Structure 1
Amino acid sequence: MDILHTLPLPAALALLALVDGLSVGTLLIPLFLLIAPGRPRVPRIMLYLVTITVFYFAVGVLFTLGIVNVIDLGREFLASTAGRFAMLAGGLVMLALGIWIGVLDARRRKRAAAGDPTALEGRGRLLRWRERLLAPGTGRAAVMGVPLAAGLAEVAGMLPYLIGMTMLADAPIGMPGRFAMLAGYCMVMILPALLLLGLRVAAAGSVERPLRRFTGWMQRTGAENTSWVFGIVGLLLARSAFTQLGIVLPVVG
């Protein structure tokens, strides 16, 4: 956060948006659609990207319109003893959740290495879902439902997005300027997927194999990355709460 505050607001928002652009909803799902056998279904992929962009823009508008009072209330609450204990509890929960996700992922990897077919069930379901989504008879409503579901599932945990919206709400600019920056933020979020779509269309043969490897890496490490994010954020929150409460942690060694 300190680094972000040293940057101009557009640059800080662009940096956060690029991080958000690497999430499951904004990149991994579009990648799975891109590497489907045959020619890429550009209209359906574009419909997906437009839908998730509009979703995050709409959430950002609601967030921006009502966030100022929420920020003030939140600051007052976090400055109180109860708020600091709440932050400590939240940090410890996030830390425990990160460890739990990491343990489950390690167990899944161990089962997969031992040849347990159930460890790969999630991947098979994802491939079947992709086939149905790209089938000729699938309607637009079904395609649009996927990014909406992904956005609803992810938005509460997309820390860069929440930080960016808070910075935007705090900025001393008018509403038109905020909404313009919000629109730019959402466009930058889908920029990695748009660039990969352009590469897939322009040079299908040369980029298909790297895209498959990248998609496989993201799928394999998704749980591990989530575990680290939750664990690090939880640890930082808990440490900050301990400091504000005047609790001195013992130093080992």
Structure 2
Amino acid sequence: MTFTLVAALIGLALIDSTSFGTLLIPIWLLLTPGRLRAGRIAAYLGTVAVFYFGIGILLVLGADAALTAVGAIDIPPVPLRIGQLILGILIIALSYRLEARAERRSGSPGKIQRWRSRTMSGSGNARSLMKLALVAAALEVATMLPYLAAVGLIANADLAWQLTGFVLAAYCVVMTLPAIALALARLAAHQRVDPFLQRINDWFTRNSAKALGWTVGGIGIGITLNAATVLAVNPT
């Protein structure tokens, strides 16, 4: 484990912590009127963290097998860089499509709000809240490119399997830290924190589509520029 790897993973985890499932839904849950049921928030965030940990383990195992297979194939560097360039351009194009789709769906949070009212009230139960966590995580896991990038870094670091599991678990905990901090603040200072949570909720509701497009597009631009630079400097 190097400092660069740790810093990169922390940065990616903090980006992931601002997603719909890891921050916006917890904020909606925290805005439920009345006394905060801390156990319900813990059940939601715990389910999200465990889900991503399991997905990460599966991806690391698959990435390790894929890297081994690719390493056995003798492919010249130029075709690889051209493939990287094409991949970057495709990701940039995908960012526009994801942003447009998110904008079309931005006006329909009613189902999530109804789930919130039911699961956070006395009439609901933790099972429905855990179901909400699984649905939210499953729907966005394919678009959480920072997490996929982090899994790639971990798989490529050639760590012992015990350390790999620890790093993935720590990553998933960091993903939930902003929501945990807001929950603790809500418990400690209900009246003072609610206006702040409402402003965050309003901002994410207005800008979630653009944030998704910027995140995916930024990753695509980075991949494209890296491939173009290498091809320009060393075209053979």
Q: Which TM bucket (shorter chain)? A: 0.7 to 0.9
Deviations 1:42-85 (Å, cap 9, x if unpaired)?
11111001101111111122222332121344576986676555
What's 1:50 paired with?
A: 46
Which of the numbers 114, 119, 123 marks the counterpart of 1:137?
Answer: 123
Partners of 1:81 and 1:8 lie apart in 2 by: 27
What's 2:6 paired with?
A: 10
Partners of 1:140 and 1:33 lie apart in 2 by: 13
TM-score, length of structure 1 as denominator length: 0.77
1:36-47 matches, within 5 Å, as 36-47=32-43
What's 1:29 paired with?
A: 25
What's 1:97 paired with?
A: 94
1:68-107 matches, within 5 Å, as 68-73=64-69, 86-102=83-99
Deviations 1:234-253 (Å, cap 9, x if unpaired)?
3343445556667xxxxxxx
Structure 1 contact 26–190 (Cα < 8 Å) conserved:
yes
1:117-156 matches, within 5 Å, as 121-156=107-142
Distance 1:65 1:234, change over 3 A: closer
Partners of 1:105 and 1:162 lie apart in 2 by: 20
Partners of 1:77 and 1:15 lie apart in 2 by: 33
Deviations 1:89-125 (Å, cap 9, x if unpaired)?
443333233334555677x7xxxxxxxxxx9741444
The offset of 1:221, in angstroms, is 0.6
Structure 1 contact 26–49 (Cα < 8 Å) conserved:
yes
Q: 3-state SS of the aligned residue for 1:127?
A: helix
What's 2:184 paired with?
A: 198
Structure 1 contact 78–87 (Cα < 8 Å) conserved:
no
What's 2:219 paired with?
A: 233
The offset of 1:194, in angstroms, is 0.6
Q: State the number of aligned residues.
A: 232
Report the residue type matching 1:198 in the other structure.
Answer: L
Deviations 1:126-164 (Å, cap 9, x if unpaired)?
433322332333233221111111211222222221222
Uncovered stretches (5+) of structure 1, i.e. residues with no partner: 109-118, 247-253
Distance 1:200 1:77, change over 3 A: farther
What's 1:114 paired with?
A: none
Distance 1:104 1:51, change over 3 A: closer
Structure 1 contact 10–181 (Cα < 8 Å) conserved:
no
Which segment is superposed worse, 235-244 or 160-169? 235-244
Uncovered stretches (5+) of structure 2, i.e. residues with no partner: none
Determine whether 1:181 maps to 2:175: no
What's 2:205 paired with?
A: 219
Which segment is superposed worse, 18-27 or 166-175? 166-175
Partners of 1:215 and 1:226 lie apart in 2 by: 16
Report the residue type matching 1:214 in the other structure.
Answer: I
Distance 1:198 1:177, change over 3 A: same
The offset of 1:15, in angstroms, is 2.4
Structure 1 contact 78–84 (Cα < 8 Å) conserved:
no
Determine whether 1:161 maps to 2:147: yes
